[in-house]
Amino acid sequence: MNFWNDPLKVAAAWLEGIFTGWGMDAVLAHVLVVFLGVLLLITILMVLDIFLVWIERKVVSRFQDRIGPNRVGPFGLIQPFADIIKLIIKEDTTPDGADKVVYNLAPVLSMMSVLILWAVVPLAPVMLGVDLNVGVLFLIAAGAIGTLSIIMAGWSSNNKFALIGGFRQVAVMVAFEIPMLTMLMIPTIFAGSMNMNAIIQSQNIWYFIISPLGALIFLIAAIAELGRAPFDLAEGESELVAGFNIEYSGMKFGMFYAGELLHAFTFGGFWAILFFGGYRFFGLEQVSPFLAILILIIKAMVGYWVIMWVKYTMMRIRIDQMLGFNWKFLTPLSFALLLVTALMNALLAGADSWLYITGMFLANVVTAWIALEIARSVARKERERMEGKKVVEVGHS
């Protein structure tokens, strides 16, 4: 066991040796080392978060045909630090009639619900926080805490816009949790395990290729869970000013903002883990754990970029459209896809791997095609009913 093959275990053993050498109890030393490990991971994530602000602003400006931050430091890299100093020295306001404890707890819970997700992320084959056998469900559990933080922020601010924003966000999150949970079952079926590391290890072929529709539905549900455009109804600048975080100022607002960015990056990572092989890339992950971490970060960044691409391209939809889309289209589709996947998995259990992959892929394509045909015919009937006459279809006869 040397440092370059298993850095975490070697470093932990080394530190524990030092602590026990000082006469510390072995159990206490172990707890202390684990605590330091958690602290290190959170510190790295928060530093990464600072640069995510820069990345987000640079990418959005490219999408909007601007240059973005370019004055402070090379390529504007120092800009986020200036932003943070501004946020910290801003006046910290609490609105009249706010519920102080709940009001101050909400941003902390919001940040916590994101950071806690990293407990189950396998960074490399040998580097993972908790090898939880229900890692997939843990994702939903942490999302529940995020939902709670938003409703707490919306209610405790004593502001009607904040409350409406909070209600909307909860409606979105509770609705899209269902397709997301259903889609999380698809990698579980393929891998035969809910453990994140086992899911990555079993991806000899990316699950995106076996189940492209599953990956797409997961991405849509993840974007809704993040509260990003086109599902950013909770913020809706044009109607709710800033939604649930309207009354927050300074670093408390910063916590919500940084939490959202890190959440988007984290979901990019989970998309990569569940459907794009996580840290695996043509066996490169076996060379060094550090290379594996690099691969995972690059894949997570690509996922994050796709989420940003959607955010800055799509327009915000109305709340009734959002609920209709979820309950009448996405949820039945995800249930149907789960049934089809489970059935095909049982039918093709003993089949050749090429037959298995082709069969699964075709099953996905057929499911997507049937769903789109049903949606199209329903929409056409609705249009006919609204306009009271037969609509002439353009470009399709």
Partner 1 sequence: MTAEQIIFLIVALFTLGSALMVVTTRNLVHAALWLVSTLFGVAVIYTLLNAGFLAVVQVVVYIGAIAILFIFAVMLTRKDLRDNTPQTNKNWWAGALVAVMTFAGLAFMLQGWSGLSKTAAAIPSGFDAIGLLGDQLTSPNAYVLPFEVASVLLLAALVGAVYIAFNPRSGDSKK
Q: Are 172 and 224 in contact (CB under 8 A)?
A: yes
Give the 3-state secondary structure of residue 126.
coil
Count of Cβ atoms closer than 10 Å to residue 258 Cβ = 23
Specify the residue, 175 or 337, whose C-beta has the smaller distance to partner 1.
175
Q: Where are the alpha helices (DSSP H) in the chain?
A: 7-21, 26-63, 79-89, 100-115, 135-156, 160-191, 196-201, 207-210, 212-226, 237-240, 250-275, 289-311, 319-324, 331-347, 353-387
Cβ-contact 173, 140 below 8 angstroms: no
Residues of this chain, 119-158, that bind partner 1 according to CB under 8 A: 132-134, 137-138, 140-141, 143-145, 147-148, 151-152, 155
Residue closer to partner 1 by CB (options 142, 300) is: 142
CB of 368 to partner 1, least distance (A): 27
Identify which of residues 286 and 321 has a Cβ nearer to partner 1 in the complex.
321
Which SS3 state, helix, strand or coil, does residue 352 take?
A: coil
For partner 1, what does the binding mask look like between residues 162 and 181, x meaning CB under 8 A?
-x---x--x---x--x----
Rounded least distance, CB 171 to partner 1, Å:
9
Beta carbon nearer to partner 1, 164 or 229: 164
Identify which of residues 126 and 205 has a Cβ nearer to partner 1 in the complex: 126
Token pair for residue 229? Answer: 């455009």
For the residues of 189-258, what is the DSSP string, one character each?
A: HHHT---HHHHHHT-SS-HHHH-HHHHHHHHHHHHHHHT-TTS-TTT-HHHHTTGGGTT--HHHHHHHHH
Binding track over 90-109 against partner 1, x by CB under 8 A: ---------x--x-------
The yes or no reply on residue 223 touching partner 1 (CB under 8 A) is no
Contact in structure between 328 and 248 (CB atoms under 8 Å): no
The one among 111, 123, 128, 194 contacting partner 1 by CB under 8 A = 194
State which residue, 84 or 134, has the beta carbon closest to partner 1.
134
Among 1, 27, 349, 394, binds partner 1 (CB under 8 A): 27
| The one-letter amino acid at 340 | V
Task: Tell me the C-alpha distance between 320 and 148, whole Å.
Answer: 22
Is residue 135 a contact partner of residue 120, using CB atoms and an 8 Å limit? Answer: yes
Binding of residue 190 to partner 1 (CB under 8 A): no
# chain residues binding partner 1, by CB under 8 A? 25
CA gap 242, 92 in Å, rounded? 17
Between 88 and 192, CB nearer to partner 1: 192
Looking at the Cβ atoms of 65 and 387, the one nearer to partner 1 is 387
| Least distance from partner 1 to the Cβ atom of residue 175, Å | 12
Q: Which residues bind partner 1 (CB under 8 A)?
A: 27, 31, 99, 102, 132-134, 137-138, 140-141, 143-145, 147-148, 151-152, 155, 163, 167, 170, 174, 177, 194
